[in-house]
Amino acid sequence: MTVSTTSFTDLTDPGLHATGDPHAVWRWMRAEAPVCWHPPAEMPGFWSLTRHEDVRAVYRDPATFSSARGVLLRPVRLGDDPGGGLTLALSDPPRHKRLRSLMAEWFSTRGVRRLEEYIRSATSAVLARAAETGECDFVHDVAGRLSISVICHIIGVPAEDHEDLFRWTNEAFEAHTSLAAHQRFMAYFIDLMDRREAEPADDLMSALVHGEVDGEPLTEEEILLNCENLVGATENGRLALAGGMLAFLEHPDQWRLLRENRELLPGAGEEILRWTSSATHSMRTATRHTVVRGQEIRAGDRVVLWLPSANRDENVFAEPYRFDITRTPNRHIALAAGEHVCIGGTLARAEMRILFSEILDTVRGIEQTGPAVRLRSIAVTGAQSIPVRIAAR
């Protein structure tokens, strides 16, 4: 028998994620309907997978579960994602691997180590600015400004333009529209692309402009959409940084533990990734007939992987609803797995480590001055705003 979601709360309703309890729905689905059909409505029909084991298996089988028609649910009226086959996230092997290798160096352990000094100085500047204003929004003024500044630096956006990029990105995020539809944002990247074409520099834009995949240079559309994707992907970074702060504000015992044991920082980063699970879902399209947990999936069917659910799977995590920075092992899947595992993972971890150690070193206290507001989105999960007062030492 196929279990369908029509009988209970709709996971594609952004309101559920803003003010409801999606974890209650996922908990029920993991137990009762781990492979669950969601009939077509505003969104196309899709299969929901909620267990860690199933989510991981789908990520690790890109030949059966393709990314090329899009990796996020979109209303039927919008059709397939126009970036299909063009961006890293929306490419299948073998092209995916070659495209990824053009960018990989910037996000590798060595690449991120080269960036650490920049991340540290950007972090202390952002924190000093937030402390100066007294009351601020941690999501926008700290996590958002820092994430954008770092990706801009990697792509090669000059420092004096970071604030413009930050503003345009926020406008697009707040309107829940794609950055590709933001004219000033795209015009800026067309201009930067032309400048790097004429005069290469040591940055990611130059690597994309002058690099080749299968002996062919990337088209302008591919370069622009990949830059747009990288900047857009930092929304996840900002949500993890801000969600980590909120978790510490809500669990002061864990903050005290970290303050007294700095060696817990890397493990705290992993627990923040698990706890925040800021990417709410990944979508795949079956390329052939297959079976998941006894349920037949036909070629062309969409399959949606719910990451916050996989990261609360009681078969994998002891006390999954507890925020515990000493959790070991911590086999979370917040950054996906397999070929499409998040390319920004090492960077996101470094940003977290540096932000929280700078806060421990330079901030006297952070006080939450009002309730956090959750995002209305089915693509990303987390706080839209967290009002705080930051007191410098």
Give the Cα separation of 330 and 84 in Å (integer): 33
Q: Does 100 bind ligand HEM (CB under 6 A)?
A: yes
Closest to ligand HEM by CB, 131 or 239: 239
Determine the longest span between alpha carbons in the chain, in angstroms. Answer: 62
> Least distance in Å: CB of 17 to ligand HEM?
15
| CB contact burial 302-340 (16+ within 10 A = b; e otherwise) | bbbbbbbbbbbbeebbeebeebbbebeebbbbbbbbebb
Smallest gap, in angstroms, from Cβ of residue 328 to ligand HEM?
20
Least spacing, CB of residue 274 vs ligand HEM, in Å: 10
**Binding flag, residue 169, ligand HEM (CB under 6 A):** no
Tokens, residue 35: 């492979």
Secondary structure element (H or E) that encloses residue 65, with its range: strand 65-66
Exactly one of 43, 233, 258, 383 binds ligand HEM (CB under 6 A); which one? 233
Instruction: Please count the CA atoms within 13 angstroms of the CA of 112 that sit on its side-chain side.
Output: 16
Asked if 151 is part of the footprint of ligand HEM (rule: CB under 6 A), the reply reads yes
Nearer to ligand HEM by C-beta: 64 or 131? 64
Candidate ranges 30-38, 196-204, 209-217, 276-284; the one touching ligand HEM (CB under 6 A): 276-284
Quote the least distance from Cβ 389 to ligand HEM, whole Å.
25
30-45 in b/e form (b: 16+ CB < 10 A) is: beebbbbbbeeeebbe
How far is the C-alpha of 353 from the C-alpha of 362, rounded, in Å?
A: 14
Residue 3 vs 265, nearer CB to ligand HEM? 265
What the block records as the tokens of 284 is: 């795949």
Interface with ligand HEM includes 382 (CB under 6 A)? Answer: no
Comparing CB distances to ligand HEM, the nearer of 131 and 274 is: 274
Among 11, 33, 57, 71, contact with ligand HEM (rule: CB under 6 A):
71
Closest to 274 (Cα-Cα) out of 349, 344, 339: 349
Backbone dihedral angles phi then psi of residue 59, each to the nearest 5 degrees:
-55, -35
Q: Which stretch binds ligand HEM (CB under 6 A): 32-40, 206-214, 229-237, 359-367?
A: 229-237
Quick one: 230 or 378, whose CB is closer to ligand HEM?
230
- Tell me how many residues contact ligand HEM (CB under 6 A): 26
Shortest-Cβ-distance residue relative to ligand HEM: 344
Question: 176: helix, coil or strand?
Answer: coil
Taking 3-state DSSP, the helix, strand and coil percentages for the chain, each rounded to the nearest 5, stand at 55, 15, 35
Q: Residue 143 carries which side chain, given as an amino acid letter?
A: A
Instruction: Please state the closest distance from residue 334 (CB atom) to ligand HEM, in A.
Output: 5
Q: Which amino acid is at 202?
A: D
Output the six-digit token pair for 128.
Answer: 């000093």
| Stretch touching ligand HEM by CB under 6 A, among 110-118, 236-244, 286-294, 353-361 | 236-244
Tell me 80's DSSP state. Answer: S
Q: Which of residues 331-360 bind ligand HEM (CB under 6 A)?
A: 334-336, 340, 342-344, 347-348
> Among residues 33 and 334, whose Cβ is nearest to ligand HEM?
334
Q: List interacting residues with ligand HEM (CB under 6 A).
A: 67, 71, 88-89, 100, 151, 229-230, 233-234, 236-237, 240, 273, 278-279, 282, 334-336, 340, 342-344, 347-348
